[in-house]
Amino acid sequence: MTPERRGVIAIAAAALLWSTGGVGIKAIAAPPLVITCWRSAFAALALFAVFRPRPRRSASFVAAVVSYAACLTTFVVATKWTTAANAIFLQYSGVVWVLLTAPLVLGEPFQARDALAVAVACAGMALFFVGRLDAPGRAGDAVALLSGVLYAALVLSLRRERGAGAWAAVTYGNVLAAAALLPFVVTDPGLSGRSAAILGYLGLVQIAGGYVLFLRGLQNVRATQASLIGMLEPVTNPLWVFLALGERPAGFALVGGAVVLGAIAWRTLGAREPPAAVAPPD
């Protein structure tokens, strides 16, 4: 098997692991901030064991750590407050904000293809709010949109922190989330054995295992290809929730999600970049 094919399989496996987050979060009878704290604590332990990262002294590293911790938190809150489909699709819209801000932050050119993709994706995002009258659902969608903005900040920061810097940012982002939310765990009455087992899976496998596979696979796969493979996550996340818990996303949300993913896929397929270099073995 070629290194590129191994990379593709690793990234696809990572996306499928990440996609199980929605059903895990929905299945736990605990407040979202408590879930985030425990999930990030488990993930931090596993990531430290694998990467043994050292913190860096740079503004981009701090920005990556803070934005990732906030992104983890807002996604869990959004998943609890709205449907899993809305939460993951609206967070994935962060790619749109990357296209808009990359010229200012990274100096990357903004092309006509980018403008069209952004316009179509924004139209798709507007469909998520059609027919939503309940306050919790609207609040969850708003938090999911914020999670997308934070996801974009994370991507922009990680583009400056490559390799070991990216591993360290992901690890310390989980450390920050767990530490910041610890007071909510102290005041919580406690978890059942079932909830604790699910949280262990979310931290050790879904987050930590997913990132280990993704970062390993990214060494031998082009960024464009990785972005397309990553779309397995928003496609399968609401599917697992529907199959396990019977939660049905709204029709407009499904159409909006398809529009957003279609715009991102069209833009990604049109990107030009050199083939990925095969990384030496660790």
pLDDT in tens, 42-63: 999 999 998 888 888 888 899 9
**pLDDT at residue 202 greater than cutoff 70:** yes
**pLDDT at residue 279 greater than cutoff 80:** no
**What is the average per-residue pLDDT within 89-114?**
78
Helix ranges restricted to H, the chain: 3-19, 21-27, 32-51, 59-81, 84-92, 94-105, 112-126, 135-160, 164-180, 182-186, 193-201, 210-218, 223-230, 232-245, 251-269
Note the pLDDT of residue 252. Answer: 81
Tokens (6 digits) for 230: 């990553």
Note the pLDDT of residue 132. Answer: 55
pLDDT band at 83 (very low <50, low <70, confident <90, very high): confident
Side-chain half-sphere CA neighbours of 66 within 13 A:
7
Neighbours of 59 (CB within 10 A): 10
Amino acid at 112: A
Pick the residue with more confidence: 12 or 188?
12
Pick the residue with more confidence: 88 or 269?
88
The answer to which of 120-129, 166-175, 206-215, 254-263 has the lowest mean pLDDT is: 120-129
**pLDDT at residue 278 greater than cutoff 80:** no
Neighbours of 261 (CB within 10 A): 20
pLDDT band at 210 (very low <50, low <70, confident <90, very high): very high
Neighbours of 139 (CB within 10 A): 14
Note the pLDDT of residue 25. Answer: 95
Q: What is the percentage of the chain residues whose pLDDT exceeds 90?
A: 34
**What is the average per-residue pLDDT within 192-219?**
90
Pick left, alpha or beta for residue 109 (phi over 0 → left; psi -120 to 50 → alpha; otherwise beta). beta
